[in-house]
């Protein structure tokens, strides 16, 4: 198989037939062996029925249906698992991603040797309430990840097969697939300006909560890749720092009391009357708690089950 198109979707019944027809027209012209994998993330508008019709009309269309909505990341992950193409291209189902971009993305992976090529919607047809947070999000992600892309959240991306088979996308981490790929050793990451078309059907899934969650996910993935295999290095280091602060504060409080009693020969202030006593007590308690968290995190890391917990309800052609 030369090419797999993976399309995660939620309530896109009206756009699906148009998207599938346009993909067939483009892919036939490329003269490649291909498959189109449509992953229904718990749609309630009849999208699965549209997928069934498309699969019945052409065996190269395959469908995966979740029992309920789990999110875009699990949908992509399941599509990656099912894909068989040497190149895997992902795109959204809302017709804002243009199928005409597929040939060049495919060529950049096959001929130019990129591990991953991300689309860049340089000219967007979105309201300011979406474009301004997106620019801030992309700027922050570039600085934190070191991956110099303009548009991390663009659904139109192309991958070598080895990339999608080597990474796991869970939670809401689909925004950071280039970052994940880089951490897994795939460093030939390119970018291509792609056309962004206005939405015709359905409604946007973007909300302000996704903007906030995006930054929280960035912190999570940064922590996971740096300390995921050695959580005690983080919790132990911070715990040690807090414990040292508490120990030194305690030593100061005790030393001051002894100084008053045996050097100045006067009544020393009560330990509990000093603010530093409570700083010492709090710091030592937090230090012990962080050490305990580190030990627990090590146990969880060693014995944790799969992180992607979702249920596939039906499959077509797979």
- Summarised one tens digit per residue, pLDDT across range 68-110 is 999 899 999 999 999 999 999 999 999 999 999 999 999 999 9
**152 in the same domain as 297:** no
What's the structural domain count of the chain?
A: 2
Whole-structure pTM value: 0.74
Within-domain flag for 240? yes
Supply the DSSP string of 193-244, one letter for each residue. E--B----SS-----HHHHHHHHHHHHHHHHHHHHTT-HHHHHHHHHHHHHH
149, 180, 225 from 220: Cα distances, Å: 20, 12, 9
Using the 3D structure, point to which of 178, 194, 227 is the last residue of a domain.
227
Higher pLDDT, 252 or 22: 22
Model confidence at 265, pLDDT cuts 50, 70, 90, reads: confident
Mean per-residue pLDDT for 289-300?
A: 84
Using the 3D structure, point to which of 198, 227, 256 is the last residue of a domain.
227
pLDDT at 159 over 70: yes
5, 9, 52, 91, 265 from 19: Cα distances, Å: 12, 12, 14, 10, 89
**130 in the same domain as 97:** yes
Within-domain flag for 314? no
2, 100, 264, 301 from 307: Cα distances, Å: 30, 35, 62, 11
Residue 145: exposed, middle, or buried by beta-carbon count in 10 A (0-12, 13-18, 19+)?
buried
Within-domain flag for 238? yes
**297 in the same domain as 204:** no
3-state secondary structure of 5: strand
Boundaries of domain holding 26: 3-227
**123 in the same domain as 243:** no
Within-domain flag for 51? yes
**242 in the same domain as 210:** no
State the Cα–Cα distance between residues 316 and 37, nearest whole angstrom. Answer: 9
**236 in the same domain as 139:** no
**143 in the same domain as 18:** yes
- Over the stretch 231-263, which tens digit does the pLDDT of each residue have? 888 888 899 899 899 989 888 888 888 887 777
**261 in the same domain as 127:** no
CB 5 within 8 A of CB 39: no
**14 in the same domain as 134:** yes
**179 in the same domain as 82:** yes
């Amino acid at each position: 198989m030369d090419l797999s198109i993976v399309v995660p979707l939620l309530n896109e019944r009206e756009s699906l037939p148009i998207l599938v027809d346009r993909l067939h027209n483009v892919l036939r012209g490329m003269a490649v062996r291909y498959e189109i994998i449509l992953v229904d993330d718990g749609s309630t508008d009849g999208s699965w029925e549209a997928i069934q019709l498309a699969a019945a009309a052409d065996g190269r269309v395959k469908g995966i249906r979740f029992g309920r909505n789990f999110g875009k990341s699990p949908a992509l992950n399941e599509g990656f698992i099912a894909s068989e193409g040497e190149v895997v291209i992902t795109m959204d189902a809302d017709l804002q991603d243009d199928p005409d971009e597929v040939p060049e993305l495919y060529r950049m992976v096959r001929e130019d040797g990129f591990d991953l090529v991300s689309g860049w919607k340089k000219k967007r047809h979105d309201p300011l309430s979406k474009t301004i947070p997106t620019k801030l999000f992309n700027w922050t992600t570039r600085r934190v990840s070191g991956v110099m892309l303009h548009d991390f959240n663009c659904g139109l991306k192309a991958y070598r097969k080895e990339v999608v088979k080597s990474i796991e996308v869970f939670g809401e981490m689909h925004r950071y697939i280039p970052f994940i790929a880089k951490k897994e050793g795939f460093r030939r990451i390119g970018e291509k300006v792609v056309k962004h078309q206005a939405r015709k059907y359905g409604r946007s899934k973007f909300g302000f909560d996704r903007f906030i969650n995006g930054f929280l996910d960035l912190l999570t993935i940064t922590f996971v890749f740096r300390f995921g295999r050695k959580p005690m290095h983080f919790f132990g280091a911070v715990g040690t720092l807090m414990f040292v602060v508490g120990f030194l504060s305690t030593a100061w409080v005790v030393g001051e009391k002894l100084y008053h009693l045996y050097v100045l020969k006067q009544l020393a202030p009560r330990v509990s009357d000093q603010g530093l006593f409570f700083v010492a007590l709090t710091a030592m308690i937090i230090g012990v708690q962080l050490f305990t968290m580190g030990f627990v995190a090590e146990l969880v890391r060693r014995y944790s089950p799969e992180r992607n917990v979702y249920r596939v309800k039906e499959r077509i052609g797979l």
